Amino acid sequence: MQTARRLYIYLLSGISLGVLVAGLSMLLTVLLERIGLGPSGAQLSGGDVVGQQLTLASALVAVSLPVWLIHWFAAERSVGPDRETASIERTSEVRGLFFAVALGALLLAAGTGVASMLESIVVRLADTDIGSRSIGGGLALAVVAGAGWLYHVWIRSRDWARGPITGAGAWLPRAYRYVAAFIGLMLLLAGVGGLVEVVGRLVLDEPPPYKDPSFSAWWAYPLASALVGVLVGGGVWVGHRLYADRLVRDPGWRGASERPARLRLAYFAAVLVAASAGTILLLAEAAGNLLAVPLGISDGEDAAQVIGLILLPLLSAVAYAIAWWLHSRWMEAEAVSSGSDERVETEDRLEHYPVALVGLAFSATAVAWIIGVLIDATLGGGRALSGGDVWRRELADWIPLALIGIAVWIWRWRSVGDRWAVDPVGEAVSTTRRAMLLIALAAGVLAGIAAAGLILYRLFGSIFGISQVGDPVSELSRPVGVLLVAVAVAAYHAIQLRRDQSMRTDLDASRGEPVVAARINLRLSGPPGADPSGVVATLRQQLPPGYDLEALEER
């Protein structure tokens, strides 16, 4: 009954809050645009348009505000300190889910508003705005949604101050915190990459190939997007990361609940995967553009363009590499400071296995594609016969990715091998290792099934005389490459899993299972004055070997 009540209250609170934010944002937008923050190069809206906007906004606010106040009052009343069930309501999973969703939605709305405002400012300063962008609209949304976000942060902080929160009521808002930090970091890194691209092209005086000759300030929109990533994404990441770190350092029960949180380790692992993947891809892009020069297939028409094609991805890769290195060091420092050997072991595995999986994924994909290209070129497939430099371009793109991916995989897998040499049993029973091996095995099996299916489809079509489009060599070259690599990957990891399973079986056998004697309870009764002890002694003499009879209680 209480769960249904909570669902109703928080669902209505969330819906009415969303409508209220929309209405207040529209009201503030009208005000800001009337004082000069509306679309540039356009006349102010007429009275009818403004009146319609005010009417709609007022209606939204008039409807949603009472609904939100009533339901939110009920929600807050249930967690009041004078209520006997306040702790139950405060720690409920429904309230935790509400705060996770509300904080995420409000943060997204505020970030969208800030992004729109920044883009409008940049394009207006560059004198490229076509009159469709409103600074006031973005600012209004950022202010209203930001105020709502701050209010809910304050309410949730008050909940924590009143006592411990456990279970779903704790980990759901914690999930919001780390998801927001992760998304903010990814936006920051993408923004840094975009900023490097824009500034580099401006320095080299090499506009992108898609530049419109009639559009002089080609850099305005890319620069605006990059600044949005750096400022908005960086602000979200820094704010949530600093708050999470402060909780970890808390000496009280809050820190005790935060430090061992699995979601924090999951955040670190996700960053390591994403940052290593971005580093590998950008390094491969730079190396591919470099390799294209001696092959005569470079996209650059002059030295400046060639330098830009090589240098700019390298500089962007530095940002991802720094994020990779920092989070690896932070995770290691936290594990050491915890004083737990188990935490140190877990951290070390999370530093090695996920990155090894990333390197394996890129290298396996690239090697499969290279095999397909070589088969196509050797057997005279469509890509080779079509002329041009199609297959050379593909080799230039995929060979660096294969080499870098293999290097990363060997680097991390060698560390795994060192751990195995020191403690093979400990690695064999590791959940992280088993998950990595199963993921690689599953990916290999699924890729092999898909490739084999395509090969058999073409083969059976030829046998049955079905007309098929496309060159058969080109159509089969890639599936063959995928099948060969998938079989190798699946076989290798299956052998590793089988060896681990054998060691776990031997470990269980060496420990032995405790022997529990079969037992049945009997009740012995007799007439008054009888001698039960003598009867028991007589029965004990009649028992077969290995059996025993014990008198637990005498009366």
Domain boundaries, the chain: 2-259, 306-510
Q: Checking phi first, is residue 36 left (phi over 0); if not, alpha (psi -120 to 50) or beta?
A: left
What value, to the nearest 5°, has the Cα angle with vertex 454 and ends 450 and 457?
135
pLDDT higher than threshold 90 for residue 116: no
More confident residue, 268 or 87: 268
From CA 275, how far away is CA 272, in angstroms rounded?
Answer: 5
Structure-token pair, residue 216: 């002089």
Q: Region 175-197: what's the mean pLDDT? A: 93
pLDDT tens digits along 142-184: 999 999 999 999 999 888 888 888 778 888 888 999 999 999 9
To which residue do tokens 């099996």 refer? 445
Q: How many other CB atoms are there within 10 angstroms of residue 357's CB atom?
A: 21
pLDDT higher than threshold 50 for residue 44: no
Out of 145-149, 151-155, 296-300, 494-498, pick the least confident: 296-300
Residue 339 backbone dihedrals phi, psi, to 5 degrees: 75, 10
- Write down the pTM of the prediction: 0.83
pLDDT of residue 524: 76
Q: How confident is the model at residue 510 (pLDDT cuts 50, 70, 90)?
A: low
pLDDT of residue 182: 95
From CA 483, how far away is CA 446, in angstroms rounded?
Answer: 10
From CA 45, how far away is CA 52, in angstroms rounded?
Answer: 11
To which residue do tokens 């593909």 refer? 394
Q: Region 247-265: what's the mean pLDDT? A: 85
Q: How confident is the model at residue 449 (pLDDT cuts 50, 70, 90)?
A: very high
Helix (H, G, I), strand (E, B) or coil at 434: helix
To which residue do tokens 């600012």 refer? 139
pLDDT higher than threshold 60 for residue 190: yes
Alpha helices in 205-295 (DSSP H): 220-228, 234-249, 253-258, 262-292
Q: Region 273-278: what's the mean pLDDT? A: 95
pLDDT of residue 42: 46
Those residues with Cβ within 8 angstroms of residue 9's Cβ, 6 or more apart along the chain or in another chain: 71, 74, 75, 78
Nearest Cα to 31, choosing from 50, 48, 17?
A: 50
Tally of CA atoms within 13 A in the half-sphere of 346 that contains its CB: 18
To which residue do tokens 């060192």 refer? 418
pLDDT of residue 515: 46
pLDDT of residue 553: 56
Q: Is the dihedral of CA 432, 359, 331, 327 positive or negative?
A: negative
Q: Region 60-87: what's the mean pLDDT? A: 89
pLDDT of residue 148: 94
pLDDT higher than threshold 80 for residue 215: no
Rounded alpha-carbon distances, angstroms, from residue 334 to 134, 241, 324, 346: 45, 14, 16, 12
pLDDT of residue 43: 44
pLDDT of residue 37: 73
pLDDT higher than threshold 70 for residue 470: no
Alpha helices in 379-471 (DSSP H): 382-385, 390-422, 424-428, 431-463
Helix (H) or strand (E) holding 197: helix 168-204
What value, to the nearest 5°, has the Cα angle with vertex 14 and ends 11 and 15?
85
Ranges 172-181, 197-206, 211-220, most confident? 172-181
pLDDT over 90, % of the chain: 40
